[in-house]
Amino acid sequence: MPSEPTKFTHPREILDALDLTPDEKIKLLRQMEYDLRDKLVASDENMTGTEPGRTGELLRQVRLALHSLGVTAEETGAPTKSGAG
């Protein structure tokens, strides 16, 4: 899933956006989750970004945001960092 540029840098910003439908928020949060998983894989391969350690916390917050929109744990993510099951 290729990443599209987004103005959102934190899951809370997506949840608070008044101009987005719940489905649009879920789509953006899933894209953010995918991008964060890629960063975790890159980190494991010693290709860390500018803020090591922040990625895992953001991923946790994305999952909480998805849960607040009614997405179940089974629908959010996968057992591996890359999302492959």
Asked whether residue 48 is assigned to any structural domain, the reply reads yes
Asked whether residue 17 is assigned to any structural domain, the reply reads yes
Asked whether residue 56 is assigned to any structural domain, the reply reads yes
**pTM, full prediction:** 0.74
Asked whether residue 80 is assigned to any structural domain, the reply reads no
Asked whether residue 3 is assigned to any structural domain, the reply reads no
Asked whether residue 85 is assigned to any structural domain, the reply reads no
Query: Which residue type sits at 61?
Result: Q
| The residue to which tokens 């946790």 are assigned | 60
Residue 25 is predicted with a pLDDT of: 97
Asked whether residue 82 is assigned to any structural domain, the reply reads no
Residue 2 is predicted with a pLDDT of: 46
Number of domains in the chain: 1
Among the ranges given (2-6, 39-43, 56-60, 69-73), the one the predictor scored with the smallest mean pLDDT: 2-6
User: What is the distance between the alpha carbons of residues 36 and 1, in angstroms, rounded to a whole number?
Assistant: 13
